[in-house]
Structure formats: C-alpha cells, structure tokens
Amino acid sequence: MVNKRIQKLLQNTRGRSRRAESSNRGLNGENESQVVTPPHSPSETPNTELELQHNVEHGEEGSSQRSQNTRGRTVMRDVHSLGPNDLLVVRFNERGQPYGEMQPTLSNFVGTIARNGNLLPLSFLDWRKIPKNRLDLAWGSVTARFCIPTRHRNIVMQIMGAAWRRWRTEVKATSYDPNIPFDELLQIRPVPHKLTPEVWETLCDYWKKNERTSKINRENAHKKQRIHAQGRINIPTLEDKFFQENGVKPTRIELLELSCRSKKKGGAPIDDEAIRHEALLNEAVKRHLQDMPEGTDPRQVHEQAFREVFGPEHSGRVRCLGAGALPSQVFPEQYKRSHCQGYDTASDVTEKFKEMEEKIKDMEAREGAR
C-alpha cells in the first residue's frame, strides 16, 4: 500500500509530465525533466522479492535494537512496493546531477539497494570488484521504480557506490576490532549481516592488513573543513532554489554560504570554520572589486576570490558543486586549453604526415638514381 507521501509525489510527477507533454518543450534549457519508461525484464522479479525480504528483515532487526527515542534504518517500503505504472520521475541538471523534491527519495532508495546483502554483499573487498551482472541488477532495481534515462546511470551508480562504502565502514566500526584476534572476536560478537565465518574472516584479515591506510584515511577525514548542513538536500537542489528565487545561478561562494548555514541557528554559519571562510571570501571579493574596472562581471570576481582562498581544484573534482560535477563541465574553455597544450591538433598531425611522406619519396628517388 502506497502511503500519502508517495501518493503526493506520484501526483506531482504525473502533473509535471502532463504539463511537459502539453507544452512540447522536451529537453529545454539547463534543467530537464526526464520521462522515460524503463524496460522490465522477468529476471528483475526474483531479485525484487529478495530485496523486499531483505529490507523487511533489516527493518524488523533495527526496530528490535533501537532505543526509545531513535528511529530505525530507512527501508523505503513504500517505494519498493510501487508498481510498474507508478514510476517516480527524477530531474537532472545540465551536469547530470539529480535535484528537486525527488532527489532525497532517490538517495534513500539507492541506500537500501546498497545495503542489500543478497544483491551487493559485503564479501567483495572493493566496489570496483563487484561483478557487472550484480551492478546491472542493482541498476534495474532503481529503474523499476524511477524514470531515469540510461545516460544518468553513472551518477546513480556513483551514489550507490558511496552508500555501499559507508555501509561497509559502519559494519567495520560496529563489528570489527583490530586489537582482538579473530577467534576471540567470534566469541564476543556475532558474525554481522548473515556473512559466513569464512567471508567474515577474509574481511577482517583485509582490514587488518590495511590498518595503516585506514588510519591515514581517518586522519584525512578529520581534516575536512566544510560541513554540509542541509541534510538530504543536495547542492544541485540548493542551486535550483536560488535560481528560482533570484533568476540567476549562484556562484560557488554563495553555494558555500547556503550549504554551511544552520536552520536551527536561524541561518547562521554552522561553526567557527564557516565564519572564518566567509570572512576570508568577503575580504577577497572586496579586494578584487577594487582592482577590477567598472562593469566587471561579479561572478568572475567571485570565482577569482574563491580560487584565491581555497587554492587549485583537486583532480577530477569541483568544489561546492556536489558529487558528479566535472571540471570539463564547469570550466570547458579552461579544460580544453589545459589539455591541448603539448599536443598536436589533427591538422598539425596531417601536415607532419605529409611531410614525412614527401621525405620518404625523396629518399626512395635518391636510392633509385644510384
């Protein structure tokens, strides 16, 4: 039985689809609303039943262990029970990131798939080593409830991979102790989440061998300076709300301020680090505005100030734009220039090839004359 929340989402989805069909806008502008009917294969049915059974088991287990004032783990029974004709539509921006009212629902549902031990077991030592057929089944479980085009599969699987790694980290934190031998650990704590003792021992050995790497990762995690204080609302959704209210897209400085402000504190910065960053950014913006001629685009000033305070971007990532934002999408001109330096263009290669052919012909003519 679908609850009231999902019924409302379905009504909004259908209303949006009817408006899109009546106006015949299709893919319009930077934000797109995708309405695609995913294929359903008979092979998805048994996996779906296993998945629902797994989520119900985890829901019952969580309800028996939780304390009086805490909620259990999200199992998304309402979304799992959707029929083939009740698909939820997710919107994606120009960078291929999900946003809008359906984004938290998609994120929560993908988390239940990542925690499905029948589909994506913890016995694999790395997300990249999970077989393709299992990943295809996981993707099919998502498209059986959401209308998501295939071109957005990478970002959805990226979200799923991050959720799977978080789940694995949580299991390690609650069930594993590097200071206790494995035989004693079995006597003190049960094997988690229906893993066999052999698989659990393999995991424990793997974690023990990589304890030094884990320590470095924990230290790097504690160095994180910026905190996202908007809960399940991701950066693209904040960006869209800002655009709807102001008619222009926010700069990265404005996105940083939006994501690091607390609702409980009346919109104040979440911590002292956020206050310090805002002060540094405001000072840099004022200094750049004084040096720039009149009529300079404020967005350009904000970008320069942001780079001055936070330094160069990490490889393959863009700060403050959320997961999935690539430098080639955000800075296309700069990306092309940096990647073209030191490489010949197609016309240059053709010219050099012709020159080599002419030299070879001259050498052959000289050999023939001798």
pLDDT per residue as tens digits for the range 337-352 = 554 444 444 455 566 6
Residue 83 pLDDT > 50? yes
CA dihedral for 163, 164, 165, 169, sign (positive or negative)? positive
Percent of the chain with pLDDT over 90: 32
Q: In whole angstroms, how large is the CA radius of gyration of the chain?
A: 26
Percent of the chain with pLDDT over 70: 73
Distance CA 45, CA 165 (A): 26
Residue 159 is predicted with a pLDDT of 94
More confidently predicted of 356 and 126: 126
Fill in the amino acid letter for 32: E
Mean pLDDT of the chain: 78
Residue 139 pLDDT > 90? yes
What is the rounded average pLDDT of the residues 259-273?
81
Q: pLDDT tens digits, residue range 58-68?
A: 444 444 444 45
Residue 363 is predicted with a pLDDT of 76
Residue 61 is predicted with a pLDDT of 45
Inter-helix orientation angle 272-291/298-310, to 10°: 130
Q: Give the containing element (helix H, strand E) for 137.
A: helix 132-143
Closest CA to 273 of 264, 265, 261: 261
Q: pLDDT tens digits, residue range 229-253?
A: 777 788 999 999 999 999 999 999 9
Q: pLDDT tens digits, residue range 267-277?
A: 788 888 888 88
Distance CA 237, CA 171 (A): 30
Residue 158 — pLDDT band, cuts 50, 70, 90? very high
Fill in the amino acid letter for 304: Q
More confidently predicted of 43 and 328: 328
Distance CA 189, CA 181 (A): 12
Our measurement of the distance from residue 7's CA atom to the centroid of its chain's CA atoms, rounded to an integer in Å, reads 26
The answer for residues whose C-beta is within 8 angstroms of residue 115's C-beta and 6 or more apart is 58, 73, 163, 164, 167
CB-CB contact of 228 with 220 (8 Å): no
Q: Strand, helix or coil at 269?
A: strand
